[in-house]
Amino acid sequence: MSLTFNLLNRTDAGGRRAELVLPHRTVQTPVFMPVGTAGTVKAVPQDVLESLGAEIILGNTYHLYLRPGHEAINRMGGLHKFISWPRAMLTDSGGFQVFSLSALRKVTDEGVRFRSHLDGSSHFFTPEHSMDVQIALGADIAMAFDECTEYPAERGRAEESLRLTMAWARRSLDHFRAHQHEVPWLRPNQENGVPQVPLLGPGNGNPTQSLFGIVQGGMFRDLRRQSAERLVEMDFDGYAIGGLSVGEPRDLTMEMIAEVLPLLPADKPRYVMGVGYPDEIEQYARMGVDMMDCVLPTRAARHGLLFTSEGRLNIKGKKYAEDQGPPDPACSCTVCRRYSRAYLRHLMHAGEALSATLNSIHNLAYYLGIMERVRASLHAQAE
């Protein structure tokens, strides 16, 4: 069986407090998932992620396929084992990066031909191939291969893109269902003949990978509805809303999410991809989004932007040169307990590696802290 989604309670506003039971971890939702593009959440060691309370992280299929290669990772027992991350993982389909990073893309109904941004080599991705790669990586959750509609997009373009995404969703699901038990952790271990099956409570059966469909449709409410309804008919293990946070105004993002959420089955997880700022993730969680991911906390950290209870703080600022206060006085993360703004500013200006690490730890603590508070609040509201 795939995932189990135990809804614990619901608020009038639609917010949901739940447990998402995955092969490698029972994840408390709503959850924010740090992004570990190339098998590492940039600059943050795995034990620190664990201490921060991260229960599920992302891996990017496009990056891992190109380097070190999904077959190598598969031979080594899968992505969890390769990067030494025992908790839950999700891989995207590679679609978004093929469109945003690679060169010379050529899209046909069959799939996408593209050149690697690393060495210019030519590759062809189809829905079936994306599934094979994601099964080889063996995350707890895989994503259907889709085309992320750009913003702005005319209606005709959004319709055509959606047509492709829906056809690819069907093909993704068919191929996935036929092969989802081939994940590396169900394979007997070479040394002792025992599968690397993760420990689950009784009654959870033989855990396998899950596949989520992705709702697209640009910024057109009827296309979004159509997309959601068709995916629900196909019966995925969970549903994502993609193609948001691609440059559109915040109101529009929220409008699209609000349009789609009621159409998705209440007993399956809902994931909004690639969002967002701290206030956004809180807002969407309160509307009923169960899962979110974003590179923002770690990417902003590497540029010296800290998210704090007092707002955004650009640590490069001259005014912090002798500021001995913690980055965020209301934060109890290991960085805020130990280091000053002046020191973080110095590390940034000196180009020291520790800068990215400490800034990222704080920002992730801030994001994960928001979700922890939202979960407590959803719990309290429902009682």
For the chain, the C-alpha Rg in angstroms (whole number) is: 21
Nearer to a second copy, 222 or 322 (CB): 322
Q: Does residue 189 belong to the site contacting a second copy (CB under 8 A)? A: no
Q: Does residue 354 belong to the site contacting a second copy (CB under 8 A)? A: yes
Nearer to a second copy, 356 or 370 (CB): 356
CA pair distance 229, 263, nearest whole angstrom: 7
Which tokens sit at 315? 């640590």
Which helix (H) or strand (E) is 156 found in, with range? Answer: helix 155-179
| Min dist. Cβ of residue 339 to a second copy (A) | 5
List of E strands, the chain: 4-10, 16-22, 25-29, 31-34, 56-59, 88-91, 103-107, 112-115, 122-125, 141-143, 210-215, 238-241, 270-272, 291-294, 305-308, 311-314
Given 43, 211, 273, 313, the residue binding a second copy (CB under 8 A): 43
92 is catalytic: yes
Q: 55: exposed, middle or buried (C-beta count within 10 Å: 0-12, 13-18, 19+)?
A: buried
| Min dist. Cβ of residue 194 to a second copy (A) | 17
Q: Does residue 330 belong to the site contacting a second copy (CB under 8 A)? A: no
Binding string, residues 83-122; x marks residues near a second copy by CB under 8 A: xx--------------------------------------
Taking residue 8's Cβ as centre, other Cβ atoms within 10 Å add up to: 14
- DSSP output for 212-234: EEEE--TT-HHHHHHHHHHHHHH
Nearer to a second copy, 63 or 268 (CB): 63
Q: Give bridge partners of residue 188 from the DSSP assignment.
A: 195
Q: Does residue 32 belong to the site contacting a second copy (CB under 8 A)? A: no
Cβ atoms of 298 and 34 within 8 Å: the answer is yes
Q: Does residue 339 belong to the site contacting a second copy (CB under 8 A)? A: yes
Which tokens sit at 269? 């997880």
Q: Does residue 352 belong to the site contacting a second copy (CB under 8 A)? A: yes
Q: With CA atoms as reference, report the closest residue to 370 among 232, 277, 247.
A: 277
Nearer to a second copy, 203 or 350 (CB): 350
Q: Does residue 320 belong to the site contacting a second copy (CB under 8 A)? A: no
Nearer to a second copy, 56 or 344 (CB): 344
CA pair distance 92, 141, nearest whole angstrom: 9
Catalytic residue among 132, 146, 290, 293: 293
Q: Does residue 373 belong to the site contacting a second copy (CB under 8 A)? A: no
Given 104, 194, 199, 350, the residue binding a second copy (CB under 8 A): 350
Which tokens sit at 170? 């069907």
Nearer to a second copy, 241 or 348 (CB): 348
| Min dist. Cβ of residue 75 to a second copy (A) | 6
Given 357, 367, 369, 370, the residue binding a second copy (CB under 8 A): 357
Owner of token pair 């802290």: 369
| DSSP state at residue 23 | T
Q: With CA atoms as reference, report the closest residue to 326 among 377, 268, 367, 365.
A: 365
Residue type, 34: P
Q: With CA atoms as reference, report the closest residue to 326 among 361, 350, 289, 370.
A: 361
Q: With CA atoms as reference, report the closest residue to 289 among 272, 277, 276, 274.
A: 272
| Min dist. Cβ of residue 104 to a second copy (A) | 22
| Min dist. Cβ of residue 303 to a second copy (A) | 14
323 is catalytic: no
Region of 10-18, 65-73, 195-203, 267-275 interacting with a second copy (CB under 8 A): 65-73
Nearer to a second copy, 145 or 339 (CB): 339
Q: Does residue 72 belong to the site contacting a second copy (CB under 8 A)? A: yes
Q: Which residues are catalytic?
A: 92, 293
Q: Applying CB under 8 A, which residues contact a second copy?
A: 38-40, 42-47, 63, 67-68, 72, 75-77, 82-84, 321-322, 324, 334, 338-340, 342-343, 346-347, 349-350, 352-354, 356-358
